[in-house]
Amino acid sequence: MSSEYVVAVESKPEPGDMAAIVRGLTEFNASKAAGDTPNYLLVTLRDAEGTVVGGLLGATYLGWLQVQALWLPEALRGGGHGRALMAQAEQEAIRRGCPRAFLETLSFQALPFYEKLGYKVFSKLPDFPPGGARYALTKELACE
């Protein structure tokens, strides 16, 4: 390695530095994927005042919906809100031409919830976290 470069662990990374890495990878991937880049998706659950109280963050990319984060506070779980958030994301993915979905969940999160929605486990990584597991799931979306 050339002495003009320094490799360093950044204990308090700057957002701009993180964005530079993501931007570089996105540009490289686009050069290999006919220019396709992730099209981000945000589905929110808001209270009567308009405050975000839960939601889903994901992206459609290369024919797939990738759910990156789904969160609801404990008090709102079990009331159908998560199902509604997922349904909206899946419908938007179909509208964007993505017939498949992918997500990951940890053993202490929502595996049974996703399975009830028709997601199938295709990968299990044991001891992530220690004593638990990380699951990767997919679903074929109903294209009408």
Per DSSP bridges, beta strands 39-46 and 52-61 are: antiparallel
CATH superfamily for 37-140 is Gcn5-related N-acetyltransferase (GNAT) (3.40.630.30)
| 69-99: pLDDT as tens digits | 999 999 999 999 999 999 999 999 999 999 9
Contact 113, 77 (CB under 8 A): no
The Cα 19–Cα 13 span in angstroms is 10
At residue 110, the pLDDT reads 96
Which pLDDT band, with edges at 50, 70 and 90, does 141 fall under?
A: very high
Task: Kindly list the domain boundaries of the chain, sorted by start residue.
Answer: 37-140
From residue 8, alpha-carbon distances to 5, 25, 91 in Å are 10, 19, 43
* The pLDDT value given to residue 1: 64
Q: 16 pLDDT exceeds 80? A: yes
